[in-house]
Chains A and B, each alone.
Chain A
Amino acid sequence: MSHDKTKKQAELIREISGVNPYKCMKCGKCSASCPSFNEMDIKPHQFVSYVLNDDLEALVNSKSLWKCLSCFACIERCPRDVKPGKLVDAARQLVVRERGGDFLSADEIPEKLDPELPQQLLVSAFRRYRR
């Protein structure tokens, strides 16, 4: 990924999420709250620095993006209004947008469902990605 493109993506992420990463005081409450912390390669409190350093490639390709349950605990508890969960959501959005019109049709969904899948993730995903 070229440098310019990454830069533009970082701006896009800030725009979609409405997050000002400079507000972060690195307290770590997001990582302390995260139920998927151990599954993640990039930890919630690190998202901010990836966006700040315009290191989007790593973020977009990280496992964390798809391990986040969108439980919003970090959004709820962040004392600085940074809300790393929103960054994850925005990064996912970015990936989806890049893939273009590659959406699932409604019929395809039930067979792909994992019975272990948390209900909240589904609801959150629908809320986020519906057209």
Chain B
Amino acid sequence: MPMNEEFKPKIVAFCCNWCSYAGADLAGSSRLAYPADVKIIRVPCSCRVNPMFILRAFEKGADGVIICGCHPGDCHYSTGNYYARRRMAMLFSMLEYIGIENGRTRVEWVSAAEGVKFSTTMNEFVSKIQSLGKNVRLGDIRCKN
């Protein structure tokens, strides 16, 4: 990447259908801006997010991945977010071990009523990624196209 070009991070956000996706919708209908670098993928529940998806994203050149789910205790499927929380804690520590900084990954609980929280979380996350710069550790050269 040439030095003078502005760094536009690629950020993948996994949002559960019931809370966080609705929270993102609320952020939208309340016109609460956050950077366009964030792209949301809808999943039924945060527990649907396979660690494989996150590894894949980093392989494909994502600079940050955030997983959003319902608040603990409020999961639409009762317990899904607990599984997600444990899996991600595990995955993130391993990712850090291989050089993907902890700041590039995040789990956040956003309810359907928390449009403001969604927007501020995304703003924070993007500026964190901006400060960390481009992700170079896991980029798989075979995945470059």
Q: Is there a contact between chains A and B in the complex with CB atoms less than 8 Å apart?
A: no
Interface of A toward B, CB cutoff 8 Å: none
